[in-house]
Amino acid sequence: MIAIVAVIAALLVTTLLTVGPIARSETWRATVTPLASIIGSGFLICGPLLAHEFGSAAFGAMTVLLLLAYAVGAVIRFNIVHVEALSETIATHDPMAWAMRAAQGMLGIAYAVSVAYYLKLLAEFGLKRLPVPDGIHALVANAVVTVIILMFVALTFSGSLKKIEHAAHASVSAKIGVIAGLLAGLAIWWAHHAGSTQMLPPARLSPASIPMLLGLLITVQGFETSRYLGDSYSRTVRVRTMRLAQGISSVIYLAFIGLLTPFLGQAAQAQGVAGILDIMSFVAPILGIFVLIGAVASQLSAAIADSIGAGGLVVEVSRRMLGVRGAFITVCALAIAVVWLTDPFQVVALASRAFALFYAMQAGLALWASLRTGAGGRTARAGFVAIGLVCLVAAAAGAPAEG
C-alpha cells in the first residue's frame, strides 16, 4: 500500500507541475528557482541531525530555523525593492556601491562552498549502499566529488554546461514529485500504525545546541536567488514568489519532521548525513529508493546551478577582468579545496557560515538603505540590526553536528 500511494502521489504532482496550468504561470516559473535552491536534500539530513541534538524537540528546533530563514528572507525582499532602486541611481564610486559589490563577492564565495556541500552530500548518499570500507570511505567520496567538479570544468570548454543547467532546472518538478511521494508514504504508515506507541528520545537542549542549529542554516538557504532574477521578473513578482517559495518549503520541512516523529529514536542513532536512507528503507523499500533518487538529483542540479551562479558573480565583482571560463575554474578550484579540507558535517557548517555572513551583509545594506531613504521606519531598522547580529553569531559560531 505504501509503495502504491507513494508512486501515485509522485506521478500526480510531477505531472501537475510539468504539464498543468501551474507550470505555464509566471508565478510558478519565478517560484521554481528559489524553491529548487531551498529544497535540496537538506530536508533529508535535518531529520537525523535535529533528532540527535534535540531529541523529541526536533520539530520545534526546525520551526525556529525556518522562522530565522523567513526573517532573513524579509531582509532580502526589502533589498529587492529598495537597495535595487538605489543601485540604479548611485555612482559607481559611492561607498554603498562598493558595499553592494562586496556582498556579491561574499555570495560568490558562499556559492562555491555550497557546491562542495551539495556534492559531498551527493557522494554520501550515492556511496551509502555500496560496500566501501570505512577506512577509505572519505577518500573515495572526495575523489568522486573531485571528478564531478572536474567534469563541470571540462564542460566549460565544450559549451555544454548551459544545456545541463536547463535540464537541471526542468528536473525541479520531478524532485518535488519525489518529495510528495515520500511524504505520502510516511502519511500512510502513520494511518496504518495509528495508536501504536513509539519510544521517543527525550527533548534535549544544551549550550551546544544553538550553534549546531545555526550550523544548519544552509539547509533552508536558497531564497536569496530571487534577488538576482531581475532580468526576468519584476520586483513585485520576485518579492511575492520568494515568499511563496519559503512558505512551500517550510510546509515540506515541517511535514517531513512531523511525519518522522515515530522514528526520531532511530533517527537520533542514524550514522552519517545519509542515515535517513536506513530509516526510510525500514518504513518501505520504495521510500529508500525515493530518498536516493531525490537526494542525488537535487544535489547535482543545485551544484550545477550554484557553480554557474558563483562564476557569474565572480565575473561581475572582478569587473570582467576574469572571463566566464576563468571565473568558473576559480570557483571550482575553491570547491575542490573545501571538499578535501572538510568532512560532511564540517562542510554543512562551513557553508552555513558563508551564507550567514552574506545575510549579515544584506542586513547591513538594508539598514543603510533605510537610513538613506527613510523606507521601513524605526521598527524595520531595529529588525535589520537584530537579524544582522543573529547572522553574525551564526557566521562566527555555527558548529558542525556530531555524526
Q: State pLDDT tens for residues 144-156.
A: 999 988 887 887 6
Q: Are 272 and 7 in contact (CB under 8 A)?
A: no
Instruction: Please write the tens of the pLDDT for every residue from 180-221.
Output: 888 888 888 877 766 555 666 777 787 778 888 888 888 888
What are the grid coordinates assigned to 43, written together? 530536508
Note the pLDDT tens digit of each residue in 11-52: 888 888 777 787 778 888 788 778 877 876 677 778 778 887
The Cα 129–Cα 100 span in angstroms is: 45
Q: What is the mean pLDDT of residues 166-176?
A: 66
385-396 confidence digits (pLDDT tens): 999 999 999 998
Q: Would you state the cell numbers that stand for residue 10, as one nine-digit string?
A: 509522485
Residue 164 has pLDDT above 60, yes or no: no
The set of cell numbers assigned to 27 is 508565478
SS3 assignment, position 337: helix
How many other C-beta atoms can be found within 10 angstroms of the C-beta atom of residue 259?
19
pLDDT of 82-104, one tens digit each?
Answer: 998 888 888 888 889 889 888 88
Angle formed at CA 126 by CA 125 and CA 129, multiple of 5 degrees: 90
Share above pLDDT 90 across residues of the chain, in percent, rounded to a whole number: 21
Do the beta carbons of residue 65 and residue 221 sit within 8 Å?
no
Distance CA 4, CA 107 (A): 42
Rounded Cα distance between 110 and 114, Å, is: 6
Q: Is the pLDDT of residue 163 over 60?
A: no
CA neighbor of 34 nearest in space, from 179, 178, 233 = 233
Kindly tell me if the per-residue pLDDT of 167 is higher than 60. no
Q: Are the beta carbons of 175 and 294 closer than 8 angstroms?
A: yes
CA distance 304 to 167: 10
* Letter string b/e over residues 151-167, b meaning 16 or more CB atoms within 10 A of that residue's CB: ebbebbeeeebeebbee
Q: Are 247 and 38 in contact (CB under 8 A)?
A: no
- Distances, alpha carbon 167 to alpha carbons 170, 173, 216, in Å: 5, 11, 28
Q: Can you give the pLDDT at residue 69?
A: 94
- How far, in whole angstroms, is CA 394 from its chain's centroid? 16
| Distance between CA atoms of residues 366 and 352, nearest Å | 21
Q: Which amino acid is it at 357? A: L
In whole angstroms, give the CA distance from residue 97 to residue 379.
25
b/e burial code for range 33-70 (CB count within 10 A of at least 16 → b)? bbbbbbbbbbbbbbbbbbbbbbbbbbbebbeebbebbe
Among left, alpha and beta (phi > 0; psi -120 to 50; other), residue 77 is alpha
